[in-house]
Amino acid sequence: MTDPGAPTAPTALARLSAGLREFYMTPYRRTFARAQRDEEDLFMLMVFSESLGVPNPVGYYTLELMPAMYERFHDWHRRMGLERSPLDHISCC
């Protein structure tokens, strides 16, 4: 009798499915990563747009996200080509 809480070994069909998924996803991994990075850059711009002087129609809603985004702000402004932080109140460099 087997334990109902014990992990089960993957079946041959599950291994085949995982292998096929990896086979088809591998050529597009870089494209997916670039698309995700572009999406994150746009999101960072939306969150910090009011601080940068760009009118933001959703500024009220993104204001509470700023503290969570401070950790990634340095990487973002370097990726955008800015040597130093464009914000006066954030000195990450």
Q: What pLDDT is recorded for position 16?
A: 92
- Give yes or no for residue 1 having a pLDDT over 60: no
pLDDT, tens only, 12-66? 899 999 999 988 888 888 999 999 999 988 888 888 777 777 787 777 777 777 7
Please, which residues have CB within 8 angstroms of residue 90's CB and are 6 or more apart in sequence?
51, 70, 73
Per-residue model confidence (pLDDT) at position 35: 93
Mean pLDDT of 59-80: 76
Q: What is the pLDDT of residue 3?
A: 57
Name the 3-class secondary structure at 55.
coil
pTM score, whole prediction: 0.54
Phi, psi of 10 (to 5 degrees): -65, 140
Q: Which DSSP symbol is given to 76?
A: H
